[in-house]
Amino acid sequence: MERYTIIATSTFGLESVVAGELRRLGYNDLTIENGKVTFSGDPEDIARCNIWLRTADRILIKAADFEARDFEELFQGARRVRWGDLIPLDGRMHVAGRSVSSKLFSVKDCQSIVKKAVIEAMKGRYGIEQFPETGPLYKIEIAIRKDVATLTVDTTGHGLHKRGYREETGEAPLRENLAAALVLLSRWRPDRVLADPFCGSGTIPIEAAMIGKNIAPGLKRSFSSESWPQIPQLLWDRVRREARNRINGLQFRVLASDNDFKVLKKARENAGNAGVGDLIAFQKLSFEEFRSRKKYGFIICNPPYGERMGDKEAIEKLYKKMGEGFSKLDTWSFFILSAHPGFQAFFGKRAAKNRKLYNGGIKCYLYEYQFSSDVQ
């Protein structure tokens, strides 16, 4: 099988989580950089990573990187790539681009030059002057940073956070891959209670249930590279069949509550779409009413932090009540995502650890309050 340099892209702050997932899938020779994890693999690895990675954004094939301080260097570097080995004669070639801190700052011009270079390389391979571009889509990206150009081809299509189960969302939804990352960072196990008292459209409880059952997040969706001749449908079918066989028979219950009935209705529908409706107990409840006699449980949540409520005083009062209420769960661990810079002060306790993450374009921190005896 053909070998590729594969890039799993990630949101800033989640690179180590993506790398951990890759290691659990059997990939050990990893290069971790800002926003990406790079490794080597074949077409089956591309299918497996698209179907299995919970916290990555996309799976890309790296075509080349080279210095490009002017348009001629960009054209020649892009033309040297053996595009005909990847793109079939009828392939549709779409070029996207971005440029940061580089002499070549006109993204539109860079896209145009790369497209011309790709066509020139294809002419040399196929011996024709014009290409029909009626076949499968190959989305090429030219990314230039500090005068170094990187060419990649997207194998994913819609971002990996789009699992296919969430048709409706509440206000300011949490992306699925970030929700999965919160659960993985907590090191929660299905034999412990997990609760989200601000569940909204249910993303954290659903992702937790999928992790507990070992349901591959991409099992029910399609990917742009499924139409590529390099990755035959039989291969995709095999990877999906293996994924279905790895779903375990564990029985557990995740607790999900919110004080908005309409949002809870959407959450139940989403859980049903994800195939985990029987594993999540949804309840209309304010966070102040949450109680549990269980010990060593986990609360993982994304409470409002101003962008959604718009009332600074109300947010601060909410955090104070959270601190008072959660303190009664004295053997529980809490993992709370917030963009409010004063969260810890209003919560009334400093976190043992905090991690900078991004929910969309909003800078947040994951505040970790971990009970020392909940040895995972």
111 with 199, same domain: the answer is no
Task: Choose one of 105, 122, 154: the last residue of a domain.
Answer: 154
CATH number at residue 322: 3.40.50.150
67 with 137, same domain: the answer is yes
For the chain, percent of residues with pLDDT exceeding 70: 96
32 with 82, same domain: the answer is yes
In the block, which residue shows the tokens 């066509």? 119
Side chain identity at 327, as an amino acid letter?
S
pLDDT at 356 over 70: yes
Q: What average pLDDT does this structure show over 107-115?
A: 98
Residue 213 lies in a domain: yes
Residue 233 lies in a domain: no
- Assess contact for 369 and 333: CB atoms under 8 A: yes
256 with 363, same domain: the answer is yes
195 with 133, same domain: the answer is no
Confidence of residue 375 (pLDDT cuts 50, 70, 90): very low
139 with 12, same domain: the answer is yes
| Close Cβ partners of 249 (under 8 Å, ≥ 6 residues apart) | none
Q: What average pLDDT does this structure show over 243-248?
A: 98
193 with 122, same domain: the answer is no
Residue 10 lies in a domain: yes
Residue 124 lies in a domain: yes
- Give pLDDT, residue 172: 53
Residue 15 lies in a domain: yes
- Give pLDDT, residue 41: 97
- Assess contact for 52 and 44: CB atoms under 8 A: no
Residue 192 lies in a domain: yes
- Assess contact for 63 and 153: CB atoms under 8 A: yes
User: Which residues constitute the domain of residue 118?
Assistant: 4-154
CA nearest neighbour of 190 among 255, 275, 258: 255
Mean pLDDT lowest among 113-117, 179-183, 190-194, 305-309: 305-309
Residue-wise pLDDT for 44-101, tens only, equals 999 999 999 999 999 999 999 999 999 999 999 999 999 999 999 999 999 999 999 9
Residue 228 lies in a domain: no
CATH number at residue 145: 3.30.2130.30
Q: Write phi, then psi, for 363 (nearest 5 degrees).
A: -75, 125
122 with 185, same domain: the answer is no
Q: Which pairs count as long-range contacts for 259-267, CB under 8 Å and 24+ apart, including other chains?
A: 259/284, 259/285, 259/286, 259/287, 260/170, 260/200, 260/284, 263/170, 263/200, 263/201, 264/199, 266/168, 266/169, 266/170, 266/201, 266/202, 267/170, 267/199, 267/200, 267/201, 267/202, 267/205, 267/206
pLDDT at 315 over 60: yes
Give the number of domains in the chain. 2
Residue-wise pLDDT for 249-281, tens only, equals 999 999 999 999 999 999 999 999 999 999 999
pTM over 0.85: yes
115 with 190, same domain: the answer is no
40 with 144, same domain: the answer is yes
Residue 230 lies in a domain: no
Q: HSE of 24 in the Cβ direction (CA atoms, 13 Å)?
A: 11
Confidence of residue 376 (pLDDT cuts 50, 70, 90): very low
Residue-wise pLDDT for 320-352, tens only, equals 999 999 999 999 999 999 999 999 999 999 999
191 with 124, same domain: the answer is no
- Give pLDDT, residue 367: 98
85 with 132, same domain: the answer is yes
